[in-house]
Amino acid sequence: MNRKAIFFTAILVAILVSLGVFWTNRAEKPILIGFVAGLSGKFADLGVDCRRGVEMAISRVNQSHGVKGKPIEMIAMDDGQNEKMALDAVKSLLEKNVPVIIGHATSSMTMTTLPLVNGSQTLLVGPTSSTSLLQDLDDNFIRSCAVSTAAAAMLARYLITVKGARSAGVIYDLGNKAYTGIWFETFKKTFLAEGGIRVEPLTFTSKPDLQLLPLVQHMQERQVDALAIVANSVDAAMLCQQVRKSGWQVQLALADWAATEQLINLGGSAVEGATIQQFFNRKSTKPAYVEFKKEFENRYKTEPGFGALHAYNAAMMVFKSMNEQHENETLKQAILRISHFKGLQDDIVINKYGDSNHPTYMGVVQNGEFVILEDYR
């Protein structure tokens, strides 16, 4: 082979190697997605649980060649259950041009940042933001959990028909008013419509130095048959402790927001026997959930909570839609077109506004565990 042929052969090899490196790097370049929730403070148990659910989904999809051959990577941000932190976190993610942000864990933070997201090309997918204030809206928000009003009505009917209550007190946290305020109004309306005589409200705003005993004493003076608490797991557990320390044997009922493992860990015997709503069935024997639970426990050395399940479902819904997204179709359009998704326990059906039909369960704390009341749905 003469020198000229050798030269051109070398050039051709160099070009082919360069193209190979280019296409390899292009195929392996990750798709960045955002995640935001409360990862510090009283709200951290739910936020961390949600983050772990997304991590599980990413691991699973990456083991199956990612999305259209590209791996998924997550940028996780802490909103601190604080409006400024939430806005700063979402701004940072939007600047990175992520196609989707999974979060927030609470409705109030979602309400805070959604106007910012609506002004972008990014989709916000909520695993546990259940406020009805975002129901039936054509916006950049889709959720995998059900709207909270159905759960509030269910608990009101249960206290009337099963527990025989005719009066109820409701202590709720204004720090997540987008969820708790609507929850209270729905509960009150249903409780009175079902035969209840009165509903006594009492509000507070969660903070580190919050004094809970005065709240309990005030409500005890109202002499109600049942006390519903609509708060995060830490405040709910502490309120239950104050109730029992005071010797008040009122029927306790807790909204689904409190149904994390922290409630039982911190509440102990004080939460035993409390009625509590749940976003999922911890004792489910469905194969997909059993496998997920086993992997989760091996990885994190704890059981998954409702946040993990719903965040996993939300992430897998996103990844399936990305894989099946048509050319010139947005991610939101792909999700709405597919509309039916397999969840770990129940199918998820997304309507034209991005709202989900996922069920809520009635349960009780029994022998230090969450137990579903199978006969009451």
Where is the domain boundary, 278, 293, 309? Answer: 278
Write down the pLDDT at residue 287.
97
User: Using CA atoms, how far apart are residues 197 and 199, in angstroms rounded to an integer?
Assistant: 7
Domain shared by 179 and 230, yes or no: yes
Residue 16: inside a domain:
no
166's tokens: 């005719």
From residue 235, give the alpha-carbon distance in Å to each of 148, 168, 208, 261, 267: 19, 19, 10, 13, 10
> What is the domain count for the chain?
2
Domain shared by 170 and 252, yes or no: yes
The model carries a pTM of 0.86
pLDDT tens for the 377 residues of the chain, in order: 555 444 444 454 444 444 444 434 445 799 999 999 999 988 899 999 999 999 999 999 999 999 999 999 999 999 999 999 999 999 999 999 999 999 999 999 999 999 999 999 999 999 999 888 999 999 999 999 888 888 999 999 999 999 999 999 999 999 999 999 999 999 999 999 999 999 999 999 998 888 999 999 999 999 999 999 999 999 999 999 999 999 999 999 999 999 999 999 999 999 999 999 988 999 999 999 999 999 999 999 999 999 999 999 999 999 999 999 999 999 999 999 999 999 999 999 999 999 998 888 899 999 999 999 987 76
Q: Exposed, middle or buried: residue 70 (CB in 10 Å: 0-12, 13-18, 19+)?
A: middle
Strands 226-230 and 251-254: parallel
Domain shared by 247 and 305, yes or no: no
- Cβ neighbors of 328 (< 8 A, separation 6 or more) are none
| Among the listed residues 46, 95, 49, 61, the one whose alpha carbon sits nearest the alpha carbon of residue 75 | 95
The CATH number given to whatever domain includes residue 174 is 3.40.50.2300
Domain shared by 137 and 45, yes or no: yes
Q: 246: domain range?
A: 149-278
Residue 256: inside a domain:
yes
Residue 237: inside a domain:
yes
Domain shared by 162 and 256, yes or no: yes
Domain shared by 160 and 246, yes or no: yes
Write down the pLDDT at residue 279.
85
Write down the pLDDT at residue 147.
85
User: Using CA atoms, how far apart are residues 348 and 356, in angstroms rounded to an integer?
Assistant: 6
